[in-house]
Every structure is written in C-alpha cells, then in structure tokens.
Amino acid sequence: MISLEGLTKRYGEKVAVNNLTFEVRPGIVTGFLGPNGAGKSTTMRMILGLDHPTSGDVRIEGRHYAELRDPLKSIGALLDATANHGGRSAYHHLLCLAQSNGLPERRVHEVLDIVGLTAVAKKKAKGFSMGMGQRLGIAAALLGDPRILMFDEPVNGLDPEGIHWIRTLMQRLASEGRTVFVSSHLMSEMALTAEHLIVIGQGRLLSDLSMADFIRQNSRSYVRVRTPERERFLDVLRSAGLTAMETGDVLELDGVAAEQIGELAARHGLVLHELSPQQASLEEAFMRLTAESVEYHAHSGPAADEQAPWGAGWKKG
Ligand SMILES: Nc1ncnc2c1ncn2[C@@H]1O[C@H](COP(=O)(O)OP(=O)(O)OP(=O)(O)O)[C@@H](O)[C@H]1O
C-alpha cells in the first residue's frame, strides 16, 4: 500500500503537485493518468524519496522511503525506462545492484529469466534496444521481490509483443497480492491493464475510481439503432415518449435500455438492423475529464472547449 496525504511539491512559483491524497491498494493494477506536465513523475519521485515534498506526506506500508530497512524488498520502480545502463552487461548491472542491497546472486538469474534476457545477459547493456533496456529496468525493479511495484511509462516505445508482455506481467504481479502502480499515456493499453484509476490534472486529484466507474461517470452511454423502417420507428418512439438523435442512417437513444427498445420494436413488428449499447472509450472519458487541465494544447486542432459535441465519434464499448 502506498498512502499520500496532502502531498504538495512546488518548484518556485510552479505547483507541480497540489495537495494529493489517495491510496494505492494491493492486489490490483492501479493506473496513474494525467495530461503532460500533470505531476505524475514528480509524485512518483516523491514516493521514492528522490524529491522532497514541500508539504504533506507519502508513506510506503506506513513508512517513509528513507525509513525502509530493505527498500528493494519493499518497493521496486522503473522511473526512466530510457536510462542508460552503461558499459556493464545486463548480468553485472543487476549483480551490482543485488550485492549492494544484500540480495543473493540467484535472484539475478531469476529476474533475468522473468524478463526474458537470459540469452543476452552477458551483452553490454548500452547496446540494447529500447525494449531490452526496458526489460532490464523491470528486472532491476523486480530484484528484491518487492511487495510494491511502480512503473512510469513502462510501455513507451515497445512493440506489440513487448506491450502484451508488460501487461501480463503487471497483472500477474497484482494477482500475487502486490501493489502495482503504473503511469501511461497509452489509454487503450491502460484500459486493458488497470482495474483502478487515479487521474490528476495540473497537480490536483481529478478522480480516484475503478476503471468501470471512471468511464461510466465521465461519459455518456446510449443505444445505437439502425432500421429500414425509420419513419415508422420514430413514430413508435414518439408515442412511447422517447426521442432519438439522428445522425445519418443511425439513431442514438439516451436514457433507455437496449432491451426496452428491442421489445418496443418487436411489439410493433419493426425490423431492426442494429441495436447496440455504446459506451465511450477510456480515452474519450479521460479527454473529457482532463480537457480543462491540459497544460499544452496543439494549435492545429480545436481548443478543448471547442471540441466536437460530446458523444461524436464514439466507439463501441
Ligand atoms: N525540477 C523541476 N523544476 C521545475 N519544474 C519542474 C521540475 N520537475 C517538474 N517540473 C514541472 O512540474 C510539472 C509536473 O511535471 P511532471 O514531470 O511531474 O509531470 P508528468 O505528469 O510526469 O508529465 P509527462 O506526462 O509529460 O511526463 C511540469 O509543469 C514540470 O514542468
């Protein structure tokens, strides 16, 4: 468990992290989301004692990082996946870490095996591809067999196989009862990986909800209908006190279940070609929640408050 209490970090005038209070629980993968510059990395650095809070507190299983007796056994982290591991081999890099933290050499072999680097363990790490470098960083995080794992953008630059591997690894670590806290800008990936979400914007907590509740609360759900008997269907809807939004040959209905629409259509002998409940994707729910706290807008597209009407361009849930 990681616990933050009023955690705040200022850099001069800039408030990078603003009064954050939340807990990251064991047994699930918790996603950490926020637009660029929201304060995610600063928060993670404070969890690891690499940055000192201006005010507030952060504890790992009840202790400050500096008070942990065996830090690598409590928390393992991958902060900068692109960090150069220097001229040492992957094996020696991990061995040095293990020796300086009182961990057995056996564990180096184990983590090399977990991340799939055994075959290249004697190769110099600075010649590694980005994906291999990331695997090495993850091996280092796993070295102490820690109860808590924290990954900052672990899938950046990885190929689909690497992304799938990291997702499976994180879910396995969580299913073993560990606390897994991960940031990512890849929403589709986060939607598949995390069970719970912490969302921040401009340093402030915007949401602390399960994935399902987050999408539900920050999106509109509706039912999509297509029928060759459009006019008759609209009449039936009207007589039932329902209204539909018409977009091309598709009708969208809010606030009514698909079952209800299907039964209504059947009672009137109406043919339907499509009857499908729709829910926004995590990406759309995230954009909606964070639109006002995005620090840097691109000038090529519309500004956040001029974006297409909410609901336009939704994907099937
Ligand atoms: N050492 C520092 N000195 C001054 N400002 C800083 C420093 N570190 C971070 N900041 C500022 O604090 C804010 C939060 O930065 P941080 O890197 O934590 O955000 P982030 O959510 O991790 O962003 P990204 O998604 O782009 O990695 C940004 O405005 C950043 O410019």
Please give the pLDDT value at position 313.
Answer: 36
Give whichever of 25-34, 154-163, 207-216 has the largest mean pLDDT: 25-34
Atom of ligand 1 nearest to the CA of 9: 12
CATH class of 2-216: alpha beta
Q: What is the CATH number of domain 222-278?
A: 3.30.70
**Ligand 1: residue whose CA is nearest its atom 7:** 11
Q: What is the pLDDT of residues 259-315, one digit of tens each?
A: 999 999 999 999 999 999 988 788 888 888 887 766 555 544 444 333 333 333 333
| Start and end residues for every CATH 3.40.50.300 domain found in the chain | 2-216
Residue 54 CA to ligand 1 centre (angstroms): 15
**Ligand 1: residue whose CA is nearest its atom 25:** 36
Residue bearing tokens 């706290």? 293
Atom of ligand 1 nearest to the CA of 38: 21
Please give the pLDDT value at position 226.
Answer: 97
| Start and end residues for every CATH 3.30.70 domain found in the chain | 222-278
Please give the pLDDT value at position 204.
Answer: 95
Residue 37 CA to ligand 1 centre (angstroms): 5
Q: What is the pTM of this model?
A: 0.82
Residue 77 CA to ligand 1 centre (angstroms): 18
Strand, coil or helix: what is 55?
strand
**Ligand 1: residue whose CA is nearest its atom 30:** 37
Residue 35 CA to ligand 1 centre (angstroms): 11
Residue 40 CA to ligand 1 centre (angstroms): 8
Residue 107 main-chain phi, psi, to 5 deg: -65, -30
DSSP assignment string, 49-82: TSS--SEEEEEETTB-GGG-SSHHHHEEEE--TT
CB contact set of 205 (below 8 Å; sequence gap of 6+): 19, 20, 21, 22, 198, 199
84 band by pLDDT with thresholds 50, 70 and 90: low
Across the range 47-57, mean pLDDT stands at 95
**Ligand 1: residue whose CA is nearest its atom 5:** 11
Please give the pLDDT value at position 284.
Answer: 83
Task: Pick the range with the lowest mean pLDDT from 11-15, 100-104, 207-211, 286-290.
Answer: 286-290
Distance CA 92, CA 230 (A): 70
**Ligand 1: residue whose CA is nearest its atom 18:** 39
Q: What is the pLDDT of residues 185-208, one digit of tens each?
A: 888 889 899 999 999 999 999 999
Residues with CB under 6 A from ligand 1: 11, 14, 16, 34, 36-42
Please give the pLDDT value at position 264.
Answer: 96
Side-chain-side CA neighbours of residue 148 (13 Å): 24
Distance CA 74, CA 178 (A): 10
Q: What is the mean pLDDT of the chain?
A: 88
β-strand partners of 226: 274
Residue bearing tokens 């090529």? 300
**Ligand 1: residue whose CA is nearest its atom 6:** 11
